């Protein structure tokens, strides 16, 4: 276990090989496929002209939140002993599962721009539902770039690299393409420089994608204010995507992520039923403690803070005004 933690802190990622039962991954895949097909159907129904917008994230790339009633969540795989122990060590404090989603590279996807997912420390857990390599859209990483320099120690502090500085750093290094198979998982520091690679095949390449953030206080805005923000996000998406305007779509998606980051969970408008939470072990419930549960006793673990509610309300008002201005400028 110490070797895993040391490797992650030094290099900014860890590749766990053959850690999940193949049968479990196959169950995930058989459940995932129809959910994704329905997602695509709903997405393309927004457009009057076919092919107006290729996907909801990037060129032929998708992000999709996953249902709370799915076996993917019920299994609690994201808090298995090795993963949970590693997360506890690298966060140096409390953390929570904020996004329970998926990342899909579809046929025709291209190289992403080299980037960080953020300047702040967080951890992504990816689980491939099919074998992934340089042919079908594997992730390409630049090891050690989560740290300020190759000589610096690992910390959880934010960095301030600009987009241009990220490109300069990456160009001086050799990337590593993560070849991952069913049953594997990867952990990645979100500050690590990376990019998605093209999918040259005729098959979607899906990863389960779970994001953990630091959460030092068991406090969050009220469910009512969070739901108000999510309703605005839903409205923004409905208005933005048919326009095909990238800036407008990015603004909507960024606002949605902001609301979920305030709430420390994407499970507020996807409540977890009691028959699901009853199956989750203690560590999985810890990771999900900011979610909305049917079991009220589980909701009482988090204080719904008035100050945080007011702060989120201000963000909602500001985002609504800015979005309306952007729509008027089209």
pLDDT value for 48: 62
Each residue's pLDDT tens digit, 60-85: 898 899 999 999 999 999 999 999 99
CB-based contact 68:273 (threshold 8 Å): yes
The residues spanned by each domain of the chain are: 2-216
Confidence of residue 49 (pLDDT cuts 50, 70, 90): low
Neighbours of 22 (CB within 10 A): 11
What pLDDT shows up at residue 150?
Answer: 84
Kindly report the pTM of this predicted structure: 0.92
End-to-end CA gap in the chain: 54
Q: pLDDT digit string (tens) for 172-193?
A: 999 999 999 999 999 999 999 9
Q: How far apart are CA 64 and CA 107, in angstroms?
A: 17
Percentage of the residues of the chain whose pLDDT score is greater than 70: 96
pLDDT above 80 for 141 = yes
Among the four given CATH numbers 3.50.50.60, 2.60.120.620, 1.10.1040.10, 3.10.20.600, the one describing domain 2-216: 2.60.120.620
User: Is 52's pLDDT higher than 70?
Assistant: no
Predicted pLDDT at 243: 85
- Whether residue 124 contacts residue 209, with contact meaning beta carbons closer than 8 Å, is answered with yes
The pLDDT tens digits of the residues spanning 218-246 come to 999 999 999 999 999 999 989 998 887 88
Helix, strand counts (H, E) of the chain: 11, 11
What are phi and psi for residue 12, nearest 5 degrees?
85, 5
- Compute the distance between CA of residue 171 and CA of residue 306 in angstroms, rounded to an integer: 46
Spatial contact of 70 and 138, defined as CB atoms under 8 Å apart: no
Helix 306-328 and helix 246-263: axis angle, to 10°?
180
């Amino acid at each position: 276990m110490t070797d895993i933690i040391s490797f992650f802190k030094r290099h900014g990622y860890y590749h766990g090989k053959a850690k999940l039962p193949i049968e479990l991954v196959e169950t995930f895949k058989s459940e995932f496929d129809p959910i994704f097909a329905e997602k695509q159907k709903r997405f393309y129904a927004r457009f009057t002209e076919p092919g107006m917008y290729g996907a909801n994230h990037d060129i032929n790339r998708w992000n999709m939140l996953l249902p709370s009633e799915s076996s993917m969540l019920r299994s609690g795989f994201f808090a298995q002993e090795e993963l949970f122990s590693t997360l506890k060590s690298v966060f140096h404090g409390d953390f929570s599962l904020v996004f329970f989603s998926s990342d899909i590279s579809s046929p025709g996807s291209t190289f992403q721009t080299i980037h960080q997912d953020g300047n702040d420390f967080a951890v992504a857990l990816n689980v491939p539902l099919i074998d992934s390599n340089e042919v079908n859209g594997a992730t390409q990483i630049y090891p050690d770039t989560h740290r300020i320099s190759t000589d610096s120690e690992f910390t959880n502090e934010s960095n301030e690299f600009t987009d241009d500085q990220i490109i300069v750093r990456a160009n001086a290094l050799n990337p590593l393409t993560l070849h991952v198979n069913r049953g594997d998982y990867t952990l990645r520091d979100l500050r690590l420089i990376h990019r998605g690679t093209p999918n040259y095949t005729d098959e979607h390449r899906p990863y389960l994608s779970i994001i953990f953030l630091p959460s030092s206080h068991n406090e969050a805005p009220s469910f009512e204010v969070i739901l108000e923000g999510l309703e605005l996000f839903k409205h923004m998406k409905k208005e933005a995507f048919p326009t095909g305007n990238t800036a407008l779509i990015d603004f909507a998606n960024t606002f949605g992520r902001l609301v979920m980051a305030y709430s420390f969970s994407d499970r507020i408008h996807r409540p977890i039923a009691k028959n699901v939470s009853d199956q989750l072990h203690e560590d999985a419930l810890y990771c999900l403690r900011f979610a909305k549960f049917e079991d009220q006793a589980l909701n009482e673990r988090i204080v719904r803070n008035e100050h945080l509610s007011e702060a989120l309300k201000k963000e909602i008002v500001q985002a609504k005004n800015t979005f309306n201005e952007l729509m008027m400028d089209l």
